[in-house]
Homo-oligomer: A and B are copies of this chain.
């Protein structure tokens, strides 16, 4: 060592608990600015947690588009301003990783609590994506893939996901219908979620006959970019129980990465970033995939959910399609996948998605997901990816006893 250890007493490593969770209705919020949405979710989460403004030590915000679409970078201090807390001058940090921005912001909050520097941390995700031109929306989606080596040459987010789907079909016999069953299941689930953008069950034919956006994917294989905000309150073990008796423990946190460009990866039939993130999260939590009873996973495209349930170990590699068709990821199965409706039916305001996933898992673990409650779950999982999977974040959450 370069120097002697510091003189002050070393502290124990704290644990993080979720004590508050809320999100706005997702969809087209023409009459709300992104600040309005962020403030609505933030105040609701603070109320749900039962904390006062002066209890908060720091805030994080996950957002992808505010700088590019709204001309507003430097977004994090606005969460405090909206909550009337600007005069406390608290640390406020924005995190960005395309569609994984929310999950990644959540992870930073967990790390801050584990570092011992904070006891109560508020973390939000927000996006206002509908009130823009189609060209801007497309450019935004493309900014999560590789600009220099993919988008510059004409590739789009949808086209690259179609490549992932085609390779999975070629290698494992996954069919067009398997993909469609993901959308059918998630729309069915979304019908039970009052905060979802789409609350209507659909038929298999609706997916198969909708316009092709990138063969083999049709419009109903893709989640809608939309407006919305989500917010959760995290607390250290030292203070969590003082606020809520049903605080949900963050048992494991994992994060993985990969090349932005698909052509540089070692495989197209698995997302290595997800595998790495899951492995770390399971190890920290001391659980395996078989213990997970409810999972919110990233289905920005239907092939995304098939890859996710395989790479998370919820089903064997190559069996994601048949498992979905057979109902092994729906209500009544060992692990219910996307009971909220997922990105597909809840809607996908990029940076808000990762936080909304945590909200749903928390509500499920509290036993308060009215109309869509999974039966007595103890272990839940949230899985958030960005672009075509260059960033993946996995959290394992555990219900209070």
Report B-chain residues with C-beta under 8 Å of the C-beta of A234. none
Query: In the complex the two chains form, is A73's CB within 8 Å of B90's CB?
Result: no
Q: Which listed residue (B70, B81, B247) contacts A260, Cβ 8 A?
A: B81
Report B-chain residues with C-beta under 8 Å of the C-beta of A258. 77, 86, 89
Copies in the assembly, this chain: 2
Query: In the complex the two chains form, is A257's CB within 8 Å of B77's CB?
Result: yes
Once A3-B249, A143-B74, A240-B1 are accepted as A-B contacts, the answer to whether A95 and B94 lie under 8 Å apart by CB is: yes
A266 → chain B, closest Cβ, in Å?
7
Query: In the complex the two chains form, is B73's CB within 8 Å of A68's CB?
Result: yes
Query: In the complex the two chains form, is A73's CB within 8 Å of B273's CB?
Result: no
A99 → chain B, closest Cβ, in Å?
9
Q: Which listed residue (B98, B115, B139) contacts A111, Cβ 8 A?
A: B115
A145 to B87 alpha-carbon distance, docked (Å): 17
Q: Which listed residue (B97, B117, B244) contacts A2, Cβ 8 A?
A: B244
Report B-chain residues with C-beta under 8 Å of the C-beta of A89. 256-258, 272-273, 275-276
A residues sitting closer than 8 Å to B (CB atoms) are: 1-6, 8, 10-13, 15, 17, 33, 35, 58, 64, 67-68, 70-78, 80-81, 86-87, 89-98, 104, 107-108, 111-112, 114-117, 139-140, 142-148, 151, 237, 240-241, 244-247, 249, 255-260, 264, 266, 272-273, 275-276, 286, 386-387, 390-391, 400-401
Known: A72-B143, A76-B257. 13 other contacts (CB 8 A): A2-B240, A2-B401, A6-B15, A12-B12, A64-B67, A67-B143, A71-B139, A73-B144, A77-B391, A89-B256, A90-B256, A90-B257, A93-B97
